[in-house]
Amino acid sequence: MSLITNPRTTDTPNRTVSQARPKQSLRARYGDRAFGIAATAVLVLSILAVVYPLYFIVIASISDPNAVYEGKVWLLPSGITTEGYERIFADSRIWNGLGNTLVYTVLGTAVSVSTILCGAYALSRKDMPGRKFLMLLFVITMFFDGGLITKYLVVRDLGMLDTVWAVVLPGAVGVWNLIIARSFFEHTIPNELREAAQMDGATDFKFFFKMVLPLSKPLIMLMIMIHVVAHWNSFFDALIFLNDDTKYPLQLVLRNILIQSDVSSTGTTGGDIESYAAAQRIAELTKYAMIVVSSLPLMIALPFMQKHFTKGAMIGAVK
Amino acid sequence: MSRTIPARHGGPAAAPLPQRKNSLSLRLKRISRAWQLYVLLAPAVIYILVFKYWPMYGVQIAFKNYNPVDGFTGSPWVGLTHFIRFVNSYQFGQVVGNTLWIAILGLLVAFPIPIILALLVNQLQSERFKKFTQTVLYSPAFISTVVVVGIMFVLLSPRSGLVNNAIQLAGGEPVFFMGSAEWFRPVYVISDVWQNAGFSMIVYLAALAAIDPALHDAAKVDGASKLQRIRHIDLPGIMPVVTILFILAIGNLLNVGFEKALLMQTPLNISSSEIIQTYVYHAGLQQAQFSYSAAIGLFNSLLNLALLLVFNTIARRANQATLW
């Protein structure tokens, strides 16, 4: 299994070969160059299409809201202000949401990753009787599930509504992640190692905790990251299972402010139209700042995480 | 190397070793010897029993009049009443139509783009530019759905949004993108591509990296152009992955982006943004019509399952890679 990218270093002999057969490849070479330019152009445009909206949001978040409103901000911020950020950091809803998100993320990741690692290891053991049946039990749930309503009713019957567990447990084990972890174990833990350990009297527990886990650091990192990102970004379970807004995670708070335009700070100004409009613009400014603040942690961590995620995608693809 | 993606049961079977006469006791012995493995697996099994199979058992309320006192089992049966009510309701055509529209539009637009991007990125000569492109294109996948929809609302705002400022600069009239039914689908699909195309591309890049470079070298010697090599080497090389992902996409066709649709909904665009699952959410959780909405959810799941089976069969007939 070739997990790691294999850079096409072999591309270079091209030149020598084409020199050997100049006539045929001359046209091909021009065609290739044209194609190469077109392809690069398409990719550069795609990059701009991805980056520019984000860049705009960053500069809008530190620009004078009136300049943004009048469409004067395009490439550089104008009339630098930090009021948007100040307002966010003064907003207790944001801090409270952030605190909740941290709790849910840490707890949720711990529960998910440990359940997945242990379960996937057991399922990777070909000598475990009933392995096929047990695997089937998991796979079925990928193709059919009971749906939103019954899931809600089950969580309610378990008395988990409005508790941390409603956000942590219902989505704890993704079958897809379980399969990724299982194939990792199947491919990286040699049978011989286990047999040798068993000869020395190691139990399955001992072998798993003392040998398998230390050998599986890349997998553990990948699983931790998948779940941290998922928890940091999730809002839906909180939306349906939590009523108490002091328990809302950051994303749900953001949704109420960014999308539902929860204008508690601007709507009641009453007064004249002008001050209302000004308040509205400040609210917009705050939204830009909020988008930046909430996405920044993951964006900063991205270069570090990328390696692991790319590998993960490949474990999935290559099986 | 086989590149099938999801495994039903990977690898050779859990070997039922040569059976002896006293196979039962042997089997019990093997089971008891593996008890620690079962302990490791137990939390995951308990999880799916409670949070997957119990809700599946609860799906019977689609054929009942659920009331909390009697629970899943005790509530009285009413047969297909809820299904009939849904099919006859005035929302049925609209909701199913909207779902199919978004799903098919998404599949036609959002499915091929990552493949094209991967082919383009893969042929780049400079490793650094390759890596840079990859990183940039896939970074939006890490932005939450809430924030992406928040970005849409601020950038597409009719009064102060970037897009409308540009439109006005070009002499056009501002468009209320988030508040009009006809803009819902384009905005939905474009933002989907914006956010996810780069991430989906990674799998195809991995598959492309696994293609034997010798094939390309041989083709070059024969004077094949880049485009020809992409068509005759790269594309066939990733076809198994494409097929599998396509079947999976079909199997999830009607589940697409429920959260995003819900977030993008405004009272003004509801006529094109209300899809089956948002309807289930509104009818079920907001209006507490549990049985009725469970029936609609079941309808959705079954439709999905049927699509998956049909396309998997088609793929098998065509001798392509299949899920099983």
pLDDT value of residue B9 = 43
What residues 200-229 of chain A have any CB closer than 8 A to a CB of chain B?
A: 203-205, 208, 229
The alpha-helical segments, DSSP class H, found in chain A are: 14-20, 22-61, 65-69, 83-90, 92-124, 131-143, 147-157, 164-168, 175-188, 191-199, 204-207, 213-215, 217-233, 236-241, 250-254, 273-318
* Residue A97 pLDDT greater than 50, yes or no: yes
Q: Taking CA atoms, what residue in B is nearest to A310?
A: B202
Kindly indicate the confidence band of residue A136, based on its pLDDT and cuts at 50, 70 and 90: very high
Chain A contact for B29, CB < 8 A?
no
SS3 B77: strand
Who's near B194: CB < 8 A, 6+ residues apart?
A49, A50, A53, B140, B148
At B324 the pLDDT is 64
| pLDDT, block means (10 residues), chain B with 324 residues | 41 48 81 92 96 94 91 91 93 92 90 95 91 91 92 87 88 88 93 93 89 90 87 92 85 79 91 93 92 93 86 80 68
Residue in chain A closest to B195 (alpha carbons) equals: A50
Architecture field, domain A83-318? Orthogonal Bundle (1.10)
Chain A residues whose beta carbon lies within 8 Å of the beta carbon of residue B9 = 131-132, 135-136, 139
Q: Tell me the pLDDT band of A17, cut-offs 50, 70 and 90.
A: very low
Residue in chain B lying closest to A13 (CA): B217
Residue A262 has what pLDDT?
58
Q: Which two tokens stand for residue B267?
A: 């009272």
Q: Could you say which residues from 7 to 36 on chain A have a Cβ atom under 8 Å away from some Cβ of chain B?
A: 7-8, 10-11, 13-14, 17-18, 21, 24-25, 28, 31-32, 35-36
- Contacts A84 to B, Cβ<8 Å: none
Q: Answer positive or negative: Cα dihedral of A111, A114, A118, A119.
A: positive
Q: Does B72 touch chain A (CB under 8 A)?
A: yes
Confidence (pLDDT) at B224:
85
Q: What is the pLDDT of residue A110?
A: 97
Question: What pLDDT, on a 0 to 100 scale, did the predictor assign at position B10?
Answer: 40
Task: Kindly report the nearest CA distance between residue A317 and chain B, in angstroms.
Answer: 5
Determine the pLDDT at residue A302.
Answer: 85
**Contact (Cβ atoms closer than 8 angstroms) between residue A105 and residue A307:** no
Predicted local confidence at residue A14, as pLDDT:
45
**Which position has the higher pLDDT, B2 or A33?**
A33
pLDDT at B308: 83
Name which of B33, B115, B154, B248 to mutate to probe chain A: the one with the most chain A Cβ atoms within 10 A of its Cβ. Answer: B154
The mean per-residue pLDDT over the stretch A205-220 comes to 93
For chain A positions 77-136, those within 8 Å of chain B (CB to CB) are 114-116, 118-119, 121-123, 125-132, 134-136
Q: How confident is the model at residue A9 (pLDDT cuts 50, 70, 90)?
A: very low
How many Å is the maximal CA-CA distance in chain A? Answer: 84
Q: For residue B160, list chain A residues with Cβ-Cβ distance below 8 A.
A: 68-69, 281, 284
Q: Which residues of B touch A128 (CB under 8 A)?
A: 14, 34, 37-38, 41
Q: A143 at the B interface (CB within 8 A)?
A: yes
pLDDT of residue B294: 94
pLDDT of A22 higher than 70: no
Q: What is the ipTM of this complex?
A: 0.84
Instruction: Provide the pLDDT confidence category of residue A316 given band limits of 50, 70 and 90.
Output: low
pLDDT tens, B218-246? 998 888 888 889 999 999 999 988 988 88
Note which residues in 179-198 of chain A have CB less than 8 A from chain B.
Answer: 179, 182-183, 186
CB atoms within 10 A of CB A16: 8
Q: What is the average pLDDT across A222-246?
A: 93
Among the partner-chain residues A42, A127, A259, the one whose CB lies closest to the CB of B149 is A259
Question: What are the pLDDT digits (tens) for A269-282?
Answer: 445 677 777 888 88
Average pLDDT of every residue of chain A: 84
| Domain residue ranges in chain A | 25-81, 83-318
Instruction: Give the mean pLDDT of A65-74.
Output: 84
Residue B149 CB partners (closer than 8 Å, separation 6+): A255, A258, A259, B191, B260, B263, B264
Assess contact for A63 and A81: CB atoms under 8 A.
yes
Which residues in chain B are contacts of A287 at CB distance < 8 A?
A: 150, 153-154
User: What average pLDDT does this structure show over A280-307?
Assistant: 87
Q: What is the pLDDT of residue B18?
A: 52
Q: Distance (Å, rounded) from C-alpha B84 to C-alpha B97?
A: 17
